[in-house]
Amino acid sequence: MGKEHIITANLNKDGIDRRGFLKCMAWAGTGALCVLQGGVLKTFALGDPALNDMEKMKSELAFVQISDSHIGFNKAANPDVVGTLRQAIAKINALPTPPAFVLHTGDISQLSKPVQFDTAEQALKEIRTEKIFYVPGEHDVLDDDGAGYRARFAKGTVGDGWYSFDSRGAHFIGLVNVMNLKAGGLGNLGREQIEWLEKDVRHLKSSTPIVVFAHIPLWSVYPDWGWGTSDSERALGYLKRFGSVTVLNGHIHQTLRKVEGNVTFHTAMSTAFPQAAPGQGPGPGPIKVPADKLRSVLGVTDVNFVHGRHALGITDSTLDAGM
Amino acid sequence: MMISIRRIASILVFVVAVGLVLYLGAPASAGSANKTGSTYQVKIEDFSFQPATLSVPVGATVIWTNKDEEPHTVFSTDNVFKSKALDTDDKFSFTFKKSGTYEYFCSVHPKMVATVIVGSAMKKSEPMKMDQMKQMN
């Protein structure tokens, strides 16, 4: 059910039952919620009454990641990207507890056009949450080097639109890796941004949970298709000392996950159209699936943070998963 | 070793003749090297520029057409030409007035790299000067 690719690469002895974690993730496509408590996984189906009591869940922070809405796209793979975005929003609004905020990991628009940004903003206003935080995708910085994106979505940010904020003891960092891309290259953070990052986290205690979000994956998913960031290792080096780091990305329009020590990498589904699994096809373009299957390959990500635990509970649910 | 004036003269004639031939270029390409108004097509499809290497004469115009459902751009790595974002069926054209090798890529999908080679790839040689010849002795 849905496309789940789980990559396991972790041998740390830190008390976290990662095998169980990963088994749980295999259910996530059908709408299960997994929460780590005391290093042990507890799973709930979305719609389980137990979810109505978040105190019982001992979750201290819940937020949602949404990605790749591509407003303005209108080809066969999805002639109604606004409609599927609205379905994703309805799903978020149906959660028992509204998320504290929403992270949009980029490709808000298809062609950086003002009318596309307008339409996206209007639709996203329907989410019942306090704030939406954005980072741009390469589709959001076309023709104007991101000026239109920044005017609208990047108030209070630095440089090309990077920033950080704190929420309930966790530190969130929004990075921009879609600017100044070089021929033959991958995503790129650039020296200025990495130096800013180093300063930004310098005085944080290593026990502070870190969540980094950026559009292009910050790990090497499939370089041939540009699915990686050339200088992400330098950036992640400054986060090595932290006990819990979660990296949330978009760009590849499918769910992939990797755990490496204290770092969990996760990519989200698109709300617009799916893309091929790495290497399965000529390139990273829109894939057309039968109309009745489309909702099963689009979705949103629910993230739950339990203070003091290593990893965040990350649930991907497709648009057609039962509530 | 002394060289007679006759020898110098015949070498000089030979060198000037060779120089003239190289300067004018081979007869077949001389005509097309200066031809203007020709257009060449590059198709952008399946996340690649086709053909990946295109040879054109000086003065030719290249037209890129995007046949993908993803937008692409045409950016020269040396900033010689730069398109806006091309949606499906959008076109970009550039006329190459100077010979050279022009690498370009898609700024949205930078793994897409291609080249336009303009004019002859061979460099022209200068005829040897009299005093250079004297130094050969």
Q: Specify the pairing of strand A102-104 against strand A170-174.
A: unpaired
Decide if B23 touches A, using CB distance below 8 A: no
In a domain, B124, yes or no: no
Q: Is there a domain that residue B136 lies in?
A: no
Query: B132 in a domain, yes or no?
Result: no
Q: Are residues B13 and B61 in the same domain?
A: no
Chain mean pLDDT for chain A: 85
Nearest by CB to A181, from B68, B71, B110: name it. B110
Both B105 and B46 in a single domain? Answer: yes
Residues B9 and B23 in one domain: yes
Nearest CA to CA, how far is A286 from chain B (Å)?
7
Confidence check: pLDDT of A27 > 80: no
CB environment A142-172: b (16+ within 10 A), e (fewer): bbeebebbbebbbeebeebbbbbeebeebbb
Question: Does B39 lie in the same domain as B16?
Answer: no
CATH topology of domain A8-13+60-306: Purple Acid Phosphatase; chain A, domain 2 (3.60.21)
Is A132 in the B-facing interface, judged by CB distances under 8 Å?
A: no
Name the residue ranges covered by the structural domains of chain A. Answer: 8-13+60-306
Decide if B90 touches A, using CB distance below 8 A. Answer: no
- Taking the C-alpha atoms of residue A189 and residue A180, their distance in angstroms, rounded to an integer, is 9
B113 and B58 in a single domain? The answer is yes
Contact at CB, A185 and B71, closer than 8 angstroms:
no
| B49 is a domain residue | yes
Tens of pLDDT, residues A277-297: 999 988 999 999 999 999 999
Query: Cβ(A167)–Cβ(A100) under 8 Å?
Result: yes
The DSSP element (H or E) to which A241 belongs, if any, is: none
Angstroms from A139 CA to nearest CA on chain B: 7
Partners of B41 in beta bridges: B63
Residues B82, B40 share a domain: yes
Between chains, do B47 and A182 touch, taking CB under 8 Å as contact? no
For residues B56 and B40, the answer to whether their CB atoms sit within 8 Å is yes
pLDDT at position B4 over 90: no
Cβ distance A285 to B70 less than 8 Å, yes or no, reads: yes
Q: Does any domain span residue B55?
A: yes
Mean pLDDT within B106-118: 96
Phi-psi region of B25 (alpha: psi -120 to 50; beta: other; left: phi over 0): left
Look up tokens 């005509």; give the residue. B31
Tell whether B81 lies on the interface with A, counting CB pairs under 8 A. Answer: no
Q: Are residues B6 and B55 in the same domain?
A: no
Number of folded domains that form chain B = 2
How many beta-carbon pairs under 8 angstroms link A with B? 64
CATH number for the domain that contains residue B98? 2.60.40.420
Q: Both B46 and B107 in a single domain?
A: yes
Confirm whether B89 is domain-assigned: yes
Domain, as residue range, for B104: 34-118
In a domain? residue B129: no
Percent of chain A clearing pLDDT 90 (strictly above): 74
Give the pLDDT confidence of A104-152 residue by residue, as tens digits.
999 999 999 999 999 999 999 999 999 999 999 999 999 999 999 999 9
B70 with B104, same domain?
A: yes
Is the pTM above the cut of 0.90?
A: no
Whether residues B23 and B64 fall in one domain: no
